[in-house]
Every structure is written in structure tokens, then in C-alpha cells.
């Protein structure tokens, strides 16, 4: 799809810690809200929405950098001319993004990152298209994008701005903008915000500014109940755009830079580090296992088939769950299938072939249960 490119001059943005007067801002790609039936209670809907775009812990997130001359799109400029703009970028941009992935990986999370050489193998597909801004889809929304399309773009140099890369990866992990946290208590001078973002270097229309700054997130979609003004997911703002807290009427709102202590805490709560596969309990064939976990929690089970044949896996009980099956291939867990029954009047179900002597890991995350302790899983 053709886009109207920015006509402003490009410049290498300063680091977030140098307090730029008019910084570049990233944006998130809007997603289609999950349709929940009229029979879904408010509590159940809140539980589903809080986790709907988060990954099952233990997932390996593969990423790829677009690098072919044909990777790109036609862009219509303000003067009516059309030019092909490539998505690929220099090696320095790739190096910076690898460092950004390392910043998250160094937290010891249960999710892992792996660079791959093929877009067909990648869940995260990164472009470096100048003039298109920096943006990402949020969490599992990236799975809805075609394999020849970007799920993330870095639109300016990261030479002095690695936080942009860390920020975009945060979106891919399922984290939203912290300045949109309803617990922050921020009162905007809205017209000043719209005016500031309408000019260079962002050149945003009102709708985009509202979606990425003014709009308050649903309470169910944020972590914790406190405002983390140093979060890497928080934009910096020049003085005068914020009415309250009053402090920021006369001084800029400037995060410290990098992952904050709360960023690390929340990420490790959602994606805690995991032990080896052999430490997971075994789910015995033809024997149901009760899931004694709280909403939001996850259980990991080993499946050890003794025959090569088609098998079925199903959850039992009135609950909303997401289940994902992985196969242990030379120590690496490869995705084999998954299902999400949240908000539906059915149970999560998989039917697939498994091989004798192979090891499989079934990961189950519970969104919501009508009655605690009355959810189970069975394979046969």
C-alpha cells in the first residue's frame, strides 16, 4: 500500500537521555479487538484481554532482517511522484537491533530470541524503511501478518538511540506504552500535544497521536498499578505538554533510558526463566491431570509417546486457556501446534501426529476458570 512520505529532512535523533526538544516517537499498529460474546462476564473478559496478546512462556521468538533488493514498497510523495523504497538497512542497524534483543535476553526471561536467515522461519520480521517511522505490532498480533510483510520497522538511525530498538521489542513481547497507563494520572494539554506531533520530525495526524499518546489503556492491559516514568516503554515529552503532574508544565518528562527496574520485574513475572525439559512433570497418556494454577499462570508438561501415530489433546472444564505443543529436537523446542479457546464455548484442542521416542512439551496458560481447580487436560 502506498504511503505519503514525510517531506521533512531526516536527522539522526539524539539518545533519549539527551532530552531532545522534538524527539522521534514510535507507534504501535492498531489491532482488531477480540470479539467476545454477550455471555462473557466482565471479569472473564478482563482476564482474557490482559493476556490475549502475550506469548506462552518458553516460546522461541525468531527474528529476521529484510535484506533483498526486492524487499520494499512504492511510496507516493507529496509532489505526486512515486518511488520504490527498500526495507533493508545497513549492517550497523542490524548490530544495534541485536544489542537490543540482548538487553531483553540478559534479563533471563523464559522467552528466547533467535535470528534466522529466512522470513518464512521468522515470527518477527524487521525492516529499516526510512520515512515510515518506527513501529511494531503488539505481542501475538505479529502472527496475523503475512510472511512477506514487516511486523516491525525502524525508521531512523539507532547509532545513538538503541532504546528505540528495546522499546519496539517490548511491544513485540506484548507491552504497551507506559505513558498511556491509566494509573499514571497524566493530564495532557491535548491541543499542545496534537500540535507538537503534527510538526517534524513525526508529522502525525490527530488520530495517530490520540491512539499512541492521549488514549488511556484499559486497566486490564497494563502491568501493576503504579506509573513507571523511567520505563523504556515511556516516551519523553517536552515541558508544557503535560498539565498534571504540574512538575512537567515547566520541565521535560524524560525517562532515564534503558530498561527500568520495573520493566525487568514485570517482564520476569510474565516470562519467568525455566528449567530444563526433563524437570517438567510428565502427562501420562489417557490420564487427565488437574490444572491447579491461578489465572494468568502457566503449566509445562512432558508428553512421551510410545507409538508413532495421531494423537489428540484437549482441556476439560469451564475455562479459557491457550495450549501450545513443542517438540524437543536436539535440545531446541520446535513449535508443532497451538489453540486458544478464550471467550468461546469450547475447550482448547489439538490433533496431530507424534513420534515414538520423541519428547514433546505441552504449555498451557490459564486465562480464566469458572471454578478454581476444576480444569484439567488429557491426551489420548
Task: Give the Cα separation of 34 and 157 in Å (integer).
Answer: 35
Are 110 and 236 found together in one domain?
A: yes
Are 250 and 148 found together in one domain?
A: yes
Are 262 and 282 found together in one domain?
A: no
Q: Is residue 119 part of a domain?
A: yes
Task: Give the Cα separation of 33 and 216 in Å (integer).
Answer: 15
Q: Is residue 230 part of a domain?
A: yes
Cell of 61: 521468538
Are 204 and 67 found together in one domain?
A: yes
Cell of 174: 506484548
Quick one: pLDDT at residue 147?
A: 94
Are 202 and 68 found together in one domain?
A: yes
Q: CA end-to-end span of the chain, whole Å? A: 47
Are 217 and 356 found together in one domain?
A: no
Q: Is residue 77 part of a domain?
A: yes
Task: Give the Cα separation of 19 and 255 in Å (integer).
Answer: 9
pLDDT in single tens digits along all 380 residues of the chain: 333 333 233 333 333 344 444 588 999 998 777 778 888 898 888 888 888 899 999 999 999 999 999 999 999 988 999 999 999 999 999 999 999 999 999 999 999 999 999 999 999 999 999 999 999 999 999 999 999 999 999 999 999 999 999 999 999 999 999 999 999 999 999 999 999 999 999 999 999 999 999 999 988 777 777 899 999 999 999 999 999 999 999 999 999 999 999 999 999 999 999 888 999 999 999 999 999 999 989 999 999 999 999 999 999 999 999 999 999 999 889 999 999 999 999 999 999 999 999 999 999 999 999 888 789 999 99
Q: Is residue 8 part of a domain?
A: no
From 232, 255, 270, the end of a domain falls on: 270
pTM: 0.89
Are 261 and 284 found together in one domain?
A: no
Nearest to 17 by CA among 135, 162, 157, 154: 162
Q: Is residue 6 part of a domain?
A: no
Look up the domain containing 298 and give its range. 277-379
Are 107 and 234 found together in one domain?
A: yes
Quick one: pLDDT at residue 18?
A: 42
Residues linked to residue 298 through DSSP beta bridges, in sequence order: 365
CATH number at residue 102: 3.40.390.10
Are 252 and 295 found together in one domain?
A: no
From 270, 285, 311, the end of a domain falls on: 270
Helix or strand (DSSP H, E) at 205: none
Are 344 and 243 found together in one domain?
A: no
Task: Give the Cα separation of 27 and 196 in Å (integer).
Answer: 15
Q: Is residue 110 part of a domain?
A: yes
| 3-state SS, residue 151 | coil
CA dihedral 233, 235, 241, 242 (to 10 degrees): 30
Quick one: pLDDT at residue 22?
A: 56
Q: Is residue 90 part of a domain?
A: yes
Q: Is residue 317 part of a domain?
A: yes
HSE-up (13 A, CA, CB side) for residue 55: 29
Number of domains in the chain: 2
CATH number at residue 324: 2.60.120.1050
Residues linked to residue 147 through DSSP beta bridges, in sequence order: none
Nearest to 55 by CA among 274, 217, 345, 369: 274
Are 288 and 140 found together in one domain?
A: no
Residue 367 vs residues 15, 49, 217: alpha-carbon distances, Å = 38, 9, 19
From 241, 270, 299, the end of a domain falls on: 270
Are 177 and 312 found together in one domain?
A: no
Amino acid at each position: 500500500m502506498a504511503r505519503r512520505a514525510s517531506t521533512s529532512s531526516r536527522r539522526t535523533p539524539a539518545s533519549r537521555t539527551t532530552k531532545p526538544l522534538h524527539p522521534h516517537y514510535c507507534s504501535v499498529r492498531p489491532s482488531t479487538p477480540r470479539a467476545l460474546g454477550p455471555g462473557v462476564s466482565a471479569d472473564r473478559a478482563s482476564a482474557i484481554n490482559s493476556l490475549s496478546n502475550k506469548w506462552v512462556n518458553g516460546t522461541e521468538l525468531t527474528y529476521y532482517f529484510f535484506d533483498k533488493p526486492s524487499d520494499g514498497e512504492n511510496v507516493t510523495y507529496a509532489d505526486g511522484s512515486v518511488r520504490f523504497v527498500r526495507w533493508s538497512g545497513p549492517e550497523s542497524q542490524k548490530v544495534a537491533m541485536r544489542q537490543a534483543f540482548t538487553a531483553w535476553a540478559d534479563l533471563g526471561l523464559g522467552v528466547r530470541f533467535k535470528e534466522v536467515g529466512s522470513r518464512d522461519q521468522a515470527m518477527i520480521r524487521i525492516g529499516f524503511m526510512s520515512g515510515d517511522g518506527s513501529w511494531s505490532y503488539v505481542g501475538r498480533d505479529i502472527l496475523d501478518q503475512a510472511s512477506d510483510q514487516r511486523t516491525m520497522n525502524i525508521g531512523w538511525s539507532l547509532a545513538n538511540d538503541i532504546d528505540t530498538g528495546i522499546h519496539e521489542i517490548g511491544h513485540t513481547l506484548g507491552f504497551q506504552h507506559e505513558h498511556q497507563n491509566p494509573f499514571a494520572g497524566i493530564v495532557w494539554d491535548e491541543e499542545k500535544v496534537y500540535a507538537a506531533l503534527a510538526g517534524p520530525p513525526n508529522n502525525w495526524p490527530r488520530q495517530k497521536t490520540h491512539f499512541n499518546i492521549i488514549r488511556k489503556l484499559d486497566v486490564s492491559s497494563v502491568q501493576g498499578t503504579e506509573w513507571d516514568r523511567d520505563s523504556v516503554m515511556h516516551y519523553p515529552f517536552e515541558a508544557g505538554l503535560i498539565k498534571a503532574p504540574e512538575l512537567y508544565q515547566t520541565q521535560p518528562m524524560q525517562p532515564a533510558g534503558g530498561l527500568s527496574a520495573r520493566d525487568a520485574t514485570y517482564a520476569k513475572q510474565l516470562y519467568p526463566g525455566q528449567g530444563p525439559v526433563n524437570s517438567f512433570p510428565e502427562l501420562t497418556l489417557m490420564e487427565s491431570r488437574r490444572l491447579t494454577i491461578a489465572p494468568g499462570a502457566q503449566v509445562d508438561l512432558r508428553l512421551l509417546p510410545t507409538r508413532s501415530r495421531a494423537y489428540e489433546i484437549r482441556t476439560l472444564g469451564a475455562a479459557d486457556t491457550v495450549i501450545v505443543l513443542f517438540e524437543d529436537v536436539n535440545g531446541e523446542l520446535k513449535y508443532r501446534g497451538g489453540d486458544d479457546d478464550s471467550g468461546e464455548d469450547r475447550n482448547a484442542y489439538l490433533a496431530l501426529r507424534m513420534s515414538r521416542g520423541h519428547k514433546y512439551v505441552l504449555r498451557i496458560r490459564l486465562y480464566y476458570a469458572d471454578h478454581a481447580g476444576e480444569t484439567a487436560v488429557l491426551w489420548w
